[in-house]
């Protein structure tokens, strides 16, 4: 019984992490595009 409960808790934690990642991915993409643009400007 205990092991099954632990697995469920781990799954819920993983799902929460996935949700947070989905929120962070667009933000991360925006930051990376800005950084790439800055690098291109400095290369000129």
* Distance (Å, whole) CA 27 – CA 32: 9
- The DSSP result for 1-44, as a single string, is -HHHHHHHHHHHHHHHHHHHHHHHHHHHHHHHHHHHHHHHHHH-
Above 90 in pLDDT, residue 44?
Answer: no
13-30 pLDDT, tens digit each: 888 888 888 888 999 999
| Mean pLDDT value across residues 29-38 | 96
pLDDT at 29: 93
* Distance (Å, whole) CA 35 – CA 41: 10
| Mean pLDDT value across residues 26-42 | 95
At a CB cut-off of 8 Å and minimum separation 6, what does 33 contact? none
């Amino acid at each position: 019984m205990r092991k099954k409960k632990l697995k469920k808790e781990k799954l819920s934690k993983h799902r929460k992490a996935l949700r947070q990642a989905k929120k962070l991915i667009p933000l991360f993409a925006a930051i990376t595009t800005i950084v790439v643009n800055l690098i291109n400007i400095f290369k000129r």
